[in-house]
Amino acid sequence: MSKTFRGGVHPLPGLHQGKPLTDNKPVKPYVSETVCIPLNMHIAAPPSTPVVKKGDRVLMGQVIAEGVGPRGVPVHASVSGTVKEVGNVQQLGARTSPCITIENDFQDEWVELKGLGNVETCDPAAILPAIQAAGICGMGGAGFPTHFKLSVPPDKKVDTVILNGAECETFLNADHRLMLEYPGKVVDGLRAAMRAANVETGYIAIEDNKRDAIAAISKAAAGRKGVHVVALRAKYPQGAEKQIIKAITGREVPSGKLPADAGCIVMNVGTAAAVADAVIDGRPLVERITTVTGRVREPSNLLLRIGTIFLDAIGACGGYTVEEPGKIISGGTMTGIAAPSETVSVTKTTGGIVVLSQKEATSMEESPCIRCSRCVEVCPMHLNPFKLKNLCDMNDLKAAQANHIMDCILCSSCSYICPSRRWIMSSIKNAREQIIAQQKKGV
C-alpha cells in the first residue's frame, strides 16, 4: 500500500499529468554555443560575487563567482571558453539578475578535481565543505543551499533524511530519468547526506506511477546501511516537503517551523546525485537533467549545462510545434514560473521547460465562487482556500493571518481545481508578500 497525505489533486488526468510525452526518453546531453549563468540560483544568501572578468579564459568547473557568507555557494563555469559578459540579464524574476556569459570553445577542458573517494569511508566532516564547494543548492526548485540544510543546529534532533523522488509536478520526468539511469548516484548522495548529518535512517520516496524507478533504486539501495525505498501514492503535491514528511513518518512539521523541527531533512533526488558527484569526484554542479516538453517537436530529457538559454534547449528539441508559443514555463504547470522571454537561462533549479500554445496560455476570466468546496477538499494543508481568497480580496490581512494564510505552501491545487477559475493561490501569494513586507517594516 503506497503512503500518502490527506488532500491533493490528480492534475490533468486526460494527459496523464503530461508525463507520457517524455517518460521513456533516455537522457541525452546537449551543449550550446554560449551559456549565461545567473549568480543568484540559490536562495537564503546574496548573489555570488564574480571573480572573473570579460575576456578571461575559464575552464569547466572553475569558480567564476564566490559564495557570500556561510550560506552562500559558489558558481562554476559550465563550459570551458571565454567570458563574454559580466552583467545584469533579465531572468525569471521581476528584476534582472547578475549573470556571467561564457562563449563555449567546445573543449570541455576541466579544472583539476579532487574528490573524497568513497561516500562510506570518507571523513564525514569533509562532506559538507565538499558540497558547499560544489555549489549545490536544492535542485527540486527551491534552491536552498544544501550544505546549510544538512548542517543541523545543535538544538535540533534530526533522525531522518528523505530523498524526494516523488516528482509530482506535471510534465516533468527529469527526476524519473535520473533515478532510472543513475540510481547509484542517488543512493550514494543519500548516504553522504546521512553521514554528514549524522543520521541513521534514510528514505528514497518515489510515487507509485514510477514502478521502474522504484525497482532501479531498490536494486541500487540493496545492502546499503539505513536506506529504505518507499512507494508514495501518485498525487499532487506529494513531493511537497511537509506532505512527504507526513506520508513517510506520520509527523507534521509544526506551523511556522522547519522540517528539522520534525526531525527530518528533505532533499531532491537530483540534489543527492549532485552531492554524490561532489563528494566522490569533487565535481561541481555544472549540469542537470531538464525535461523540455509541451509544444516542441521532440519532447526530450536533456542533460544541459547550467546557463543554457531556453531557446537553445527548445531548439535542441526541434523547436516549437506552434507558430507562436503562448507561454514558456520554467518547471511544471502547477507551480512553474512563466518566463518573460525565450532567452532566460536554465539554472540549478530548472527541472523542466514546458511550452504552451497561445490557446492553452490564455487564462480564463474569474467568475464568482459557487462554494463547491473543491478547494477545501484538495488543500494539502487543510486550510479553507475560498475563505483566504475572500479575505485577500478584501485586503483583510489580519483575518487572513488568523486563518493560517502563512501555512499555505502555494501548491496551487486550489486554483487548479476551482470551477470558477479563481486565482486563489495568486491572491494568497500577493497577500503574503504584503504581510512579510509589513513585518519587515515592523508595522
Partner 1 sequence: MALHISTGPHLRSRQDTPSLMRDVLIALCPAVAASLYFYGLKALWILLVSTACAVLSEYVWQRLMKKPIRLNDFSAAVTGLLIGLNMPATVPVWVPAIGSVFAIIIVKQLFGGIGHNFLNPALAARAVLLTSWPSYMTKALVPERTLTFGLFESSVDAITSATPLVAPVADIRNLLMGNIAGAIGETCKIAVLLGLIYLLIRGVIRWQIPVCMLGTVALMSWILGKDPLTAVLSGGVLFGTVFMATDYVTTPMLKVGQAIFGVGAGILVVLIRNYGNYPEGVTYAILIMNIVTPLLDRSLKRKVYGEVKQNG
What are the grid coordinates assigned to 276, written together?
Answer: 554524490
Smallest separation, CB 246 to partner 1 (Å): 7
Q: How far apart are CA 229 and CA 216, in angstroms?
A: 10
Q: How far apart are CA 158 and CA 135, in angstroms?
A: 24
253 interacts with partner 1 by CB under 8 A: yes
Choose the binding region for partner 1 from 97-105, 138-146, 178-186, 246-254 (rule: CB under 8 A): 246-254
14 interacts with partner 1 by CB under 8 A: yes
- Between CA 131 and CA 137, with CA 133 as vertex, the angle to 5 degrees is 55
Per-residue binding letters, 319-348, with partner 1 (x by CB under 8 A)? -----xxxxxx---xxxxxxxxxx------
Q: How far apart are CA 186 and CA 176, in angstroms?
A: 11
Q: How far apart are CA 279 and CA 61, in angstroms?
A: 15
353 interacts with partner 1 by CB under 8 A: no
Per-residue binding letters, 169-188, with partner 1 (x by CB under 8 A)? -x------------------
Residue of 250, 363, 440, 443 interacting with partner 1 (CB under 8 A)? 363
255 interacts with partner 1 by CB under 8 A: yes
Residue of 384, 396, 399, 434 interacting with partner 1 (CB under 8 A)? 384
| 420, burial (CB in 10 Å: exposed 0-12, middle 13-18, buried 19+) | middle
Residue of 28, 225, 297, 421 interacting with partner 1 (CB under 8 A)? 421
232 interacts with partner 1 by CB under 8 A: no
User: Positive or negative, the Cα torsion across 326, 318, 270, 216?
Assistant: positive
Choose the binding region for partner 1 from 8-16, 130-138, 280-288, 297-305 (rule: CB under 8 A): 8-16
Neighbours of 96 (CB within 10 A): 12
405 interacts with partner 1 by CB under 8 A: no
Q: How far apart are CA 208 and CA 213, in angstroms?
A: 9
For residue 350, give the nearest of 426, 265, 287, 297 by alpha carbon: 287
8-state DSSP, 81 = E
Q: Which residues bind partner 1 (CB under 8 A)?
A: 9, 11-12, 14, 170, 242, 246, 252-257, 324-329, 333-342, 354, 356, 360-364, 367-373, 376-377, 380-384, 386, 404, 407, 412, 415-421, 423, 425-426, 429
